[in-house]
Amino acid sequence: MFKIGEFSKLCRVPVSALRYYANIGLLEPAHTDKFTGYRYYLATQLPRLNRILALKDLGLSLEQIIKILNENISPDEIRGMLRIRQAEIQQIVDEEQARLARVATRLLQIQQEGKMPTQEVVLKAIESQHVISLRQIIATPDMVGAMLTEAFMTLGMKGIQPVAPPIAIFHDQEFKPADMDVEVAIPVDGGGQGDIALDGERWLRVRQLPAHPLVASIIHAGHFETIEQTYAVIGTWLAQNGYRPTGASYEVYLTAPEADTPPVTEIIFPIEKING
C-alpha cells in the first residue's frame, strides 16, 4: 500500500495528475480511506498506469483511453482509432514543418533588411463565387475604374445588389503596361440572373469564378501609383518561400472610391508549392 506521494515517485507521475486520473475514473486507487479520503495504491496498479502512459504517448485522449481500458474494445476499433491518429499526426508534422520553413524565412528577412517587414503575405483558400463580369482589352490600367463604374451602374439600373467588393482579374500571362486583358467581376447573389447587354457588342456575363485551394494575399493600403511596390513584396515572398503562381492574379477593391482617403486593395495570386 503506497500513499499517493510514494506511488507518484514510483511511477514518476505528478500527484496532481494521479488525483486527476482518479477523479475522471481512469485510475482509481486500490483503496480510499473512508474517513480521511486518503488514496492508497498498490504496485499491481503500475501495469495499468503504464498502459495509460503508453496510450497517451500515442496521442490518444484520456477519454479514449478510458474506453479502451474499461470496456473491452475490438482490435478493429482500436485499429480504426490509431489510423485516425496516424493521419492527424502526419498532418501536424507537415504543418509544423511548413511553419518551421516560414519562421526560417522570416529570420532571414530580418537579418537581410535589419528590421521586421511590415507588409504581410497571407496564405488562404478562396471559394467559388457567383459574379457578374465584364471582360475587355484596355489600353491603360486606369481604365479598370471606368469598367467598374459601367458595370456598377448597369447593375444599379437592374436593381441588383453586390454582395462583396468588386474584383479585377488580370488574364494576361505576362505583365503588359498596355492592351491588358482585364475582367472586372462583381459578386452577386446566386439567384437566377441572365447576361445583360451593354451596347451592340459587349455583355455583362453571369459566371462562377473558380475556387482556388491556395492563394497568396497581401493588402495594399495606398494609392494605385505605389501598388507596384506591393507586387514586388509578394513576388519576392513567393520566390523566397518556394511558390509559383498558377493563374490569373486578382485585385479586390476593398474600399469605395473616395476623394479624401486612399483606397485599400487586396492583391491575390493563386499559387502552388514548387516541388510539392
Task: Identify whether the C-beta of residue 123 lies closer than 8 Å to the C-beta of residue 212.
Answer: no
Cell of 124: 488562404
Residue 15 interacting with DNA (CB under 7 A)? yes
What angle is formed at CA 47 by the lines to CA 42 and CA 48, rounded to 5 degrees? 85
Residue 61 interacting with DNA (CB under 7 A)? yes
Q: Which of 70, 229, 236, 255 binds its own copies (CB under 8 A)?
A: 255
Among residues 28 and 181, whose Cβ is nearest to its own copies?
A: 28
C-alpha closest to that of 172 among 130, 219, 119, 135: 135
Please choose, out of 18-26, 202-210, 214-222, 266-274, the segment that lies near DNA by the rule CB under 7 A: 18-26
Task: Identify whether the C-beta of residue 251 lies closer than 8 Å to the C-beta of residue 265.
Answer: yes
For residue 186, the minimal CB distance to DNA (Å) is 17
Number of other residues whose CB lies within 10 A of the CB of residue 180: 19
Contacted entry of its own copies, DNA, none for residue 104, CB cut-off 5 to 8 Å set by kind = its own copies
Please choose, out of 30-38, 110-118, 186-194, 227-235, the segment that lies near DNA by the rule CB under 7 A: 30-38
Among residues 33 and 179, whose Cβ is nearest to DNA?
A: 33
C-alpha closest to that of 188 among 171, 209, 168: 209
Q: Please report how many Cα atoms fall inside a 13 Å half-sphere around the Cα of residue 248, on the Cβ side.
A: 16
Q: Which of 5, 80, 190, 242 binds DNA (CB under 7 A)?
A: 5
C-alpha closest to that of 186 among 229, 216, 211, 149: 149
Q: Measuring CA to CA, how many Å separate 254 from each of 221, 257, 267?
A: 10, 9, 10
For residue 79, the minimal CB distance to DNA (Å) is 20
Which residue's entry shows cell 514548387?
274
For residue 38, the minimal CB distance to DNA (Å) is 5
* CA pair distance 46, 63, nearest whole angstrom: 19
Contacted entry of its own copies, DNA, none for residue 36, CB cut-off 5 to 8 Å set by kind = DNA
Number of residues in the chain: 276
Residues that bind its own copies (CB under 8 A): 9-10, 12, 43-44, 46-47, 50-51, 53-55, 57-59, 68, 75, 78-79, 82-83, 85-86, 89-90, 92-93, 96-97, 99-100, 102-104, 106-107, 110-111, 114-116, 118-124, 164-165, 217-219, 221, 254-255, 261, 264, 266
Residues that bind DNA (CB under 7 A): 3-6, 14-17, 19-21, 33, 35-39, 56, 61-63
